[in-house]
Amino acid sequence: MEISDCSFQALSYSKLFNTYLADYQKLDSFYPHNPWNEDDISKRAANLKKPEYKESFLSALSAYHKELGIGKNQQESLKKLSQENALVVVTGQQLGMYGGPLFTIYKIITAILLAKKYEQKLGRPVVPVFWPADEDHDFEEIAWAGITGRADFKKIRYKGEGNGQPVSEQKLSSELKTFKTDIKEELFDTDFSQALWEQLDQFYKEGKTHIQAFAGLIDSWFADQGLLITGSNHPEIKKLLAPEFSQSIEEAEALFDAIEKKSLALEKIFHRQVSNGDSDLFYLSKKEGRVKIQKDKEGWKAGSSNWTTSQLLENIRNNPENFSPNVFLRPVIQDKLLPTLGYVSGPGELAYYGQMKDFYAEFDLEMPVIFPRLCATLIESGIARIVEKLPFEICEYGKRIEDLESEFIERTDTVDLEEVFKIWKSKLEQAAGNPLEVINKIDPTLDGTVGKTVAGFENELEKLQGRVHRSIKQQEEIQIKRIEKIKVNLFPDGGAQERAVSPVYFMNKYGLDIWQSLLKGIEREGLDLGKHYLVKL
């Protein structure tokens, strides 16, 4: 495994993200802690208040883990978190099929390495935490896996039907068999294939919920690194959160203003990642699924359900399990439950955290340090070899394929073929002049024969020019096919590899322990979140 890097500026990340990496001071009014300043991070650790619900949450987590079927592997991490001065580094992601896209892995590796780093630096226990998006209901976003297959990149769909409820509660259907078959057809059989499918089949079974399958798989990959899996979609945990759910309704206007103020300021310079709304809660309706709660005249509504404010608050107090936080409220409840030193975010998450500084304050909290996640491109040996035959740097393949092809022609068209043959023909005509005069003096009747001979030379020259032209085109076509192959491997589906390709693809080719090897490789290299890693396998 050979590790190098390239600049984020060479890739298609947002202006806000690049500014956060390279010029944080321009954003310090949106984020309370500089992730590049070790003193700032140490101050966050020293000043962090004990979470209000930590002890009760730890108890509820045991029940949550038992329900997920991962209780045994999580005990050591729970024990570590129960220590009085323990901290956590949190990350999270949706419940993608077979582990989701690669960046799920990169988020977890980042959290693990940061936890190790700050445990040593601060002299306190620091636990890496993964928070699966167990409240999210967007089934279409999770129901696929990206495979760089035998011919091209394919986004293979799991054809089960979403029902509007949180995906975590929905069960895997018989469509799982077709999904698995479709992926296997795209993958070559390797020495690792059987072990891979045995592992996946252990967790992804018809009748299991998506959270049970996903959490079991992630637990099998990273439990031995001390990764603790947490979430909020559990009755015992929801009981703890009733005060925050109630506050989100009681103080809805103030919370709206807190988000809106920062959002307006942010979009003057960069962009607003997430739209603001009437409330930060969803209602979990048995008939209609997870429905946004909105203002309605003097009261509130969610789908066909209606309440006055007092009725809604009473419902929250009595049945908190029927309510669910939105994208802004979820981080707040996370930090009400956990002693969060920092959160590992992707570029999009980092942007919406920039809208939340004042929102946190409304809940008497301070936003944690927002660490960008590890970003990486995995380069297979076959791809690395053909990259060397072309004039582009690896990160340049993020451009459109049409632009790459045009630039290749411009960069490699060093010989003006037309001019070369034009000069050659001119010299041939000049060379034929003197012999023609001599032959005419000897025998004028041979003039036509000489002309035919010269014309034959020119005809052969034109044939040769055509063959050379075709040869150049063939060579260009070979190189253009190489460009297309590199593009589909490194930047499939028009975007970054880490956002499209499933971990299954690389595990099938390089073994089930590839993520442990990557973690160790990045650790040896030294984790630097300010660069995009290029990893040659």
SS3 of 61-75: HHHHHHHHCCHHHHH
| DSSP count for the chain of H helices, then E strands | 21, 16
Q: Which of 431, 480, 481 is nearest to 453 (CA)?
A: 431
3-class SS of residue 290: strand
Residue 492 burial (CB < 10 Å; 0-12/13-18/19+)?
buried
Q: Which of 366, 355, 293 is nearest to 332 (CA)?
A: 366
pLDDT of residue 119: 97
SS3 labels along 6-66? ECHHHCCCCHHHHHHHHCHHHHCCCCCCCCCCHHHHHHHHHHCCCCCCHHHHHHHHHHHHH
Residue 413 has φ and ψ, to the nearest 5°, of: -80, 70
CB atoms within 10 A of CB 117: 17
Rounded to whole angstroms, the Cα distance separating 327 from 502 reads: 25
Q: Which residue's structure tokens are 């300010």?
A: 530
pLDDT of residue 477: 82
Sign of the CA dihedral running 231, 233, 235, 239: positive
3-class SS of residue 370: strand
Q: List the pLDDT tens digit at each of the 537 positions of the chain.
A: 899 988 888 888 899 999 999 999 999 999 999 999 999 999 999 999 889 888 899 999 999 999 999 998 899 999 999 999 999 999 999 999 999 999 999 999 999 999 999 999 999 999 999 999 999 999 999 999 999 988 789 999 999 888 999 999 999 999 999 999 999 999 999 999 999 999 999 999 999 999 999 999 999 999 999 999 999 999 999 999 999 999 999 999 999 999 999 999 999 999 999 999 999 999 999 999 999 999 998 899 999 999 999 999 999 999 999 999 999 999 999 999 999 999 999 999 999 999 999 999 999 999 999 999 999 999 999 999 999 888 888 888 888 888 888 788 767 655 566 677 677 777 776 666 666 666 666 667 666 676 677 667 777 777 776 676 666 667 778 888 888 999 999 999 889 999 999 999 999 999 999 999 999 999 999 999 999 999 999
- Which stretch of DSSP H or E encloses residue 132? strand 126-132
**Bridge pairing between strands 294-296 and 299-302:** antiparallel
Q: Which residue's structure tokens are 């404010």?
A: 309
pLDDT of residue 433: 62
pLDDT of residue 412: 67
Is residue 133 within 8 A of residue 149, CB to CB? The reply is: no
User: Which residues, 6 or more positions from 164, have their beta carbon under 8 angstroms from its beta carbon?
Assistant: 137, 288, 289, 290, 291
- Which stretch of DSSP H or E encloses residue 409? helix 401-412
CB atoms within 10 A of CB 235: 12
Strand order in the sheet with 323-325: 289-292, 281-285, 323-325
SS3 labels along 138-199? CHHHHCEEEEECCCCEEEEECCCCCCCCCHHHCECCCHHHHHHHHHHHHCCCCCCHHHHHHH
- 102-105's contacts with Cβ under 8 Å and 24+ in sequence apart are 102/376, 102/378, 102/497, 102/498, 102/499, 102/501, 102/502, 102/503, 102/506, 103/346, 103/373, 103/375, 103/498, 103/499, 104/218, 104/503, 105/221, 105/503, 105/515, 105/518
Is residue 55 within 8 A of residue 338, CB to CB? The reply is: no
Rounded to whole angstroms, the Cα distance separating 531 from 147 reads: 26
Sign of the CA dihedral running 363, 366, 368, 369: positive
Rounded to whole angstroms, the Cα distance separating 49 from 44 reads: 10
Is pTM, for the whole model, over 0.75? yes
DSSP for residue 227: P
- Which stretch of DSSP H or E encloses residue 387? helix 381-387
Rounded to whole angstroms, the Cα distance separating 111 from 316 reads: 33
User: Which residues, 6 or more positions from 191, have their beta carbon under 8 angstroms from its beta carbon?
Assistant: none
Residue 172 burial (CB < 10 Å; 0-12/13-18/19+)?
buried
